[in-house]
Structure 1
Amino acid sequence: MHHEVKILEPTDLWYLQNNINKDTNKYYHPTKNIPLVQQVEIRLENSGVIIQKGTLHSCVGKLTYDVYKTDNRLRDIWVSLTTEIEFNAPVYRGLGMVYLEPRQKGYFLHYTPIEVSEQEQWEFDDGVFQFCSDNVVIGAKKLKFRQMAASGDGKWRIALKALPGQIARVITGTLAPAKVITLKRGETLIADYDMVKGYTNGVTEDYRKLGHFGKGGGEGFIWIYSGEGKLLVSETDSLGLG
């Protein structure tokens, strides 16, 4: 499974009809909105992809259609009830191209690929997971009350890991650029906003007030991550630089 994020622009005729110089105003015009579109293309080479229900735009090739399911149908239904993943999420397998629904300008996402081994279990915020290879097991993890109040992710998050002996590939989407960092033993990540969008098992997340009896350094409630593992962080999320 390979993916490519493309920015589609209007035709030359559109520029001509709207009296816009394409060479100088390709991405911005002071008075007219240029309708740029972002679209994800997924190339399958005898492989499979699980996508969010309702995100398919089109597909072409020698492909077969199925729905996501594991050996535990009750768990699949539970995941669909507690997260944004549907238990009948579409799965496409074979040889060909899968195109996801285009996003209009102003709603673009930054996509981050993550490799998941069988020893890792990733936990993602709602809305961050976009699609993945079909060699995964998807579950759900309940949040603590303080996490629910601070993150706005509801009561549950998606938990995902690769099948035994395999390496899965997950693509996440965030409003601002994100990257995967490694938290080593003895290290702690502290942030005063929800900069972490996902993390692996071995990492402990907490949301609490910094300090006691009002002596918190003026920071109030903060996110604290400790342990050993990987984190998906969006450092510029609060800066509005997406």
Structure 2
Amino acid sequence: MRHSVNILEPTDLWYLQNNINKETNKFYHPTKSIPFVQQVEVKLENTGVVIQKGSLHSCFGKLNYGVYKTDNRLKDIFVSLMTEMDYNAPVYRGTGVVKLEPRQKGNFLNYAEIEINESEQWELDDGIFQLCSDNVVMGVKKLKWRQMAGSTDGNSRIVIKSLPKQKAQLVTGTPAPAKIIELRSGEVLIADYDMVKGFTNGIKEDYCKLGYFGKGGGEGYVWTYNGEGRLLVSETEGMKIG
């Protein structure tokens, strides 16, 4: 499974009809918005991909369509996969091309590719998951009330783990750029906003008040992460710098 993020621009005819010089005003015009589009394309070669619900735009090739549903037998194998509900999503298998719904300018996402090792289990914020290879076990994990209060994730998150002795691919999409950092034993990450978009097993998350009765430095409630594992963080979210 290989994916690419393509930026599509208007046709030459569009520029002509709107009386815009393509060479000098390709990216910006003072009076008219030029409608660039972002689209994710996934190429399959005898492989499979699980995509976000409702995100298909088109597909072409020798492909079979199905609906991913966690096999109960497989779910029993992964005792550490603490999910309360199965996750159903479209699956495409075979050889061909799958294209996701295009996103208009102003709603572009920053995509990050994550390789899931056999020993890892990723927990992702709602809306972050875009697609993954089909050699995974997926489920939905309910959040604690404190986690729900501190984020816009609703009441659940997606949890993903690769099949035994295999490595899976995961692609996430965030409004601001995201990167992976590693948390080692004895280290702690504290953030005054929803900075972490996903993390692996071994990481403990809490949403708690930093100090009490005015003795916490005025920070109020913060997110804290400790343990050992990897985190997907978006440091510039809320800064309005892309």
TMscore range, shorter length:
over 0.9
Provide structure 1 residue ranges, at least 5 long, that are not aligned to the other structure: none
Which residue pairs with 2:215 in the alignment? 215
Identity of aligned residues (%): 70
Tell whether the 8 Å contact from 2:128 to 2:174 is kept in structure 1 after alignment.
yes
Tell me the distance in 2 between the aligned counterparts of 1:79 and 1:56: 23
With 130-139 and 20-29 compared, the bigger mean Cα shift is at: 20-29
Q: Does 1:198 align with 2:198?
A: yes
What runs of 5+ residues in structure 2 fail to find an aligned partner? 76-83
State how far apart, in whole Å, the 2-side matches of 1:238 and 1:191 are.
13
AA at the equivalent of 1:79 = M
Structure 2 match to 1:12: 12
The counterpart of 1:79, out of the listed 81, 85, 92, is 85
For 1:132, the equivalent position in structure 2 comes to 132
Equivalence for 2:235: 235
Q: Given residue 172 of structure 1, which amino acid in structure 2 is its aligned partner?
A: T
Q: Is the 8 A contact 1:40 1:102 kept in 2?
A: yes
- Structure 1 segments of 4 or more deviating over 3 A? none
CA distance in 2, matches of 1:175, 1:79: 27
SS class of match (1:23): helix
Provide the TM-score with structure 2 as the length reference: 0.93
Q: Distance in 1 between matches of 2:148 and 2:69?
A: 28
Contact 1:193 1:238 in 2 (8 A): no
Output the amino acid matched with 1:204. Answer: K
CA distance, structure 1, for counterparts of residue 162 and residue 44 of structure 2 = 18
Per the normalisation by structure 1, the TM-score is: 0.93
User: What per-residue deviation string (whole Å, max 9, x for no partner) do you get for residues 20-58 of structure 1?
Assistant: 111221121111011110000000011100012221111
TM-aligned CA deviation for residue 117 of structure 1: 1.4
- The letter of the residue matching 1:34 is I
The number of equivalent residue pairs is 234
Superposition deviation, residue 211 in structure 1? 1.3
Q: Root-mean-square deviation (CA), in Å? A: 1.6
- Counterpart amino acid of 1:115? E
* Equivalent residues in 2 for 1:11-90, closer than 5 Å: 11-72=11-72, 79=85, 85=87, 87=88, 89-90=89-90
What SS does the aligned partner of 2:147 have?
Answer: helix
SS in 1 for 2:29: coil
Q: Confirm or deny: 8 A CA contact 2:111 2:174 kept in the other structure.
A: yes
